[in-house]
Amino acid sequence: MAKEAVFQIRMDVETKEAAEKLYRSLGTSFAEAVRIFAAQSVKEHGFPFVPKNYDVNRKTARGILSKYASEESRRKEKDAFMEAMIAKHE
């Protein structure tokens, strides 16, 4: 399949250099690893790995909006995402 599309992302230099070093040590490139990630995501219809729990104190939508959820809702949903991801990938 021809590689015709371009995908650009911004990230901090340290992460990029660490990823490049990692994938070189595995015999491939960071760009190829991103292509593999995308292809596997399409195949799996989601993340090709089980995501870790999100930190509700981070400045993400999930973290910022969690303060508006009721305590009961938070308790019910606390591990629901993680359980769903584990079940999906087992």
Q: Which residue has the tokens 């990823």?
A: 19
Per-residue model confidence (pLDDT) at position 19: 94
Residues 15-22 have a mean pLDDT of 94
Q: How many Å apart are CA 14 and CA 2, to the nearest integer? A: 31
Per-residue model confidence (pLDDT) at position 55: 59
Residues 12-26 have a mean pLDDT of 93
pLDDT tens digits, one per residue of 52-68:
665 555 555 556 666 67
CA distances for 30 relative to 16, 41, 81, angstroms: 8, 16, 28
For the entire predicted model, the pTM comes to 0.55
